[in-house]
Amino acid sequence: MASELEFKFEIQAERFSVHALLADFEVSEGIYSRARIEDTDSVCLWLGANVMLEYSCEEATTLLKKKLENAKASLEVLVADLQFLRDQVTITQVTIARVYDWD
């Protein structure tokens, strides 16, 4: 998502320049192609589940920023959950060791 947002900003910056933007994109796994992007007012975003939609540059920026914020928030929650699970694994290992050593 961050790379899509950076690419979107690059397209916006290139809109006002004289030359076209050259971009490499993935066609299939491990297969890339180069595209020459002329002046454009819209971008197509791959939303997943075989869905691609065309957005204006402003809408795309808003959508990508929102998705990036949501992904960062989800990452923070997952990191906290992972830390909790690590603590639980450690507690379980210590408990098993105590039971084993009790004999």
For residues 53-82, give the mean pLDDT.
92
pLDDT band at 17 (very low <50, low <70, confident <90, very high): low
10-72-11 Cα angle (round to 5): 10
What whole-number distance in Å separates Cα of residue 103 and Cα of residue 90? Answer: 21
What whole-number distance in Å separates Cα of residue 42 and Cα of residue 88? Answer: 49
> For the chain, what are the domain ranges?
2-102
Structural contact between residues 8 and 21, judged by C-beta atoms closer than 8 angstroms? no
**Positive or negative: CA dihedral 65, 68, 69, 70:** positive
Decide which of 1.10.3720.10, 3.40.50.2300, 1.20.120.1770, 1.10.287.370 is the CATH code for 2-102.
1.10.287.370
For residues 31-47, give the mean pLDDT.
85
Q: Which residues contact 24 (CB under 8 A, 6 or more apart)?
A: 32, 33, 34, 35
Q: What's the whole-model pTM score? A: 0.61
